[in-house]
Structure 1
Amino acid sequence: MISNKNKFVPFFCLLPATIIFLIFIIIPIGYSFYLSFFNWNLIAPTKEFVGLQNYFALFTDPLNRKIMLNTLFYVILLVILNFVFPYLISLIVKYFIRKMQGAYKIIFFIPSLFSLVVGAMVFSWLLNPVSGPVALLLRKIGMTLPNWTNSGLMAIVVLCLITSWKVFGYNFILLLTGLGSIPQNIIDAAQIDNIPRWRLIWDVILPLNKGVSIYVLILTIVQGLQYVFTPINVITQGGPYYGSSNALYHTYLNAFVLYKTG
């Protein structure tokens, strides 16, 4: 039992983290909610109270609906590129190739060490529709690279590819490590019973790896939308006409560029 003298020690240990969480998370969220009822540009000394007008504008403006659809498309594409594909490749490496797993981890993880700004600039140069290496190569075989910066959907695809270049390897290692933690005796027992490999993966391996896969799925959605902010800011700035913007970048644009804090 904890004596009365020491029962407050755990609370004192948690106090620094609680203060930091309160200052940098709870108070800013509360103040942002407070500002949502005002029309303020971060500069004027007074704030104009507008009630629920900002919320009406948020849900009735066609531009905001477009931004939400873009965000949904981002989420779906990021989940496919950064969760489904890494999962498939980790299954192939673990149960079909088996050799050189350490080499695959290193190869896929190397892009994670580079800055997204660098990645955005490199991809922007490689995929330049006029003078980029990919455009020149396609031109030699009689094809042309579409001007993806003028198409919202194509720009979103390219921006997600840049983000995947950064995130793919990290998710691959997490999923491969999760598969490696599955008890081998369960897999051996299934193989002795001559269970087909696809049934073994679907009915045994995937359910046993559910905890890691759910964690990676949530991480993919949260970090993906955070990481894609940098390529948007470097390459498209949300264009053409907000065609490649998403909720995170649109929030930044309204708050710190257009000064519409409400």
Structure 2
Amino acid sequence: MNTIIYIVFLIILNFLIPYFISLIVKFFINKMQKTYKILFFIPSLFSLVVGAMIFTWMLNPVSGPIAFILKNIGISMPNWSNSGILAITVICFITNWKVFGYNFILLLTGLGSIPQNIIDAAKIDRIPKWRLIFNVVLPMNRGISVYVLILTIVQGLQYVFTPINVITTGGPYYGSSNMIYQTYLNAFVLYKTGTSSALAIVTFIIFLILLFIEIRFVEGRSDKYV
């Protein structure tokens, strides 16, 4: 269940939101695209350990800057490390801080690969931008979007391992753990190799299904145009 929650949060934070912002930058702002790429990509240069330590300091419920600001306006900050769903949310935000820029660049580049003559023809016919996006842009950009979606799930589940290990170690009571961390925990901490092997096989099957989807929708789509 925790793994499913992680996947849902990662898809929202690392795929849907970057996709939405890339559409806005491409079709509504259409200026300073290189600047946006640089600004969003800067966090990707830092280690997840550094990000985990920064977020832990900022979100400290006792002495962190956010807790101090909330205290001044009469709001007490909850101890998120004692709540499984809050810990998962914070861990996903840390991963989002790391991955957001990379996914944003991929999606924006994919939108830029759509033939300009199609977009110009739509403008001449005075087709509303929202219809252009839903009826033309999104279908033509399906290959790169499916690739980024699968990359978000696979890399996201791998990346959350570091903040889990640094901040919560799977707690409280395995409330922030997932299948990948649980595989590591059973193999190298609890020495339950049978349980660890079973979890590893299930994880492998999940990744195999995702690989099949990528080949079906990305590689197969590419072969059509060769």
* TM-score (norm. length: structure 2): 0.85
SS in 1 for 2:120: helix
Aligned twin of 2:181: 249
Aligned with 2:105 (options 160, 173, 185): 173
**Letter of the 1:148 counterpart:** W
Pairwise CA distance, 1:144: 1.3
Mapping 1:18-97, distance limit 5 Å: 69-97=1-29
Q: CA deviation at 1:193?
A: 1.2
> For residues 68-117 of structure 1, what are the alpha-carbon distances to aligned partners after superposition, in whole Å with 9 as ceiling and x for unaligned?
x0000000000000000000000000000111000000000000000000
**What per-residue deviation string (whole Å, max 9, x for no partner) do you get for residues 164-199 of structure 1?**
000000000000000001001001111111111101
Residue matched to 1:161 = 93
Between the aligned partners of 1:229 and 1:88, the Cα distance in structure 2 is: 27
> 2:140, 2:78 → 1: CA distance?
44
Distance 2:76 2:117 in 1: 53
What do you get for the CA RMSD once the two structures are aligned?
0.5
- State the structure with more CA Rg: 1
Unmatched segments (≥5 aa) in structure 1: 1-68
Q: Distance in 2 between matches of 1:183 and 1:259?
A: 55
Work out which of the residue numbers 137, 141, 147 in structure 2 matches 1:209.
141
Compare the two structures and name the one with the higher helix fraction.
2
- Give the equivalent residue in structure 1 for 2:203: none
Q: Select which of 165, 189, 194 maps to 2:126.
A: 194
Structure 2 unaligned runs (5+)?
195-226
Q: Does 1:226 align with 2:158?
A: yes
Identity over the aligned pairs, expressed in percent? 76
- Which residue number corresponds to residue 59 of structure 1? none
TM-score w.r.t. structure 1 length? 0.74
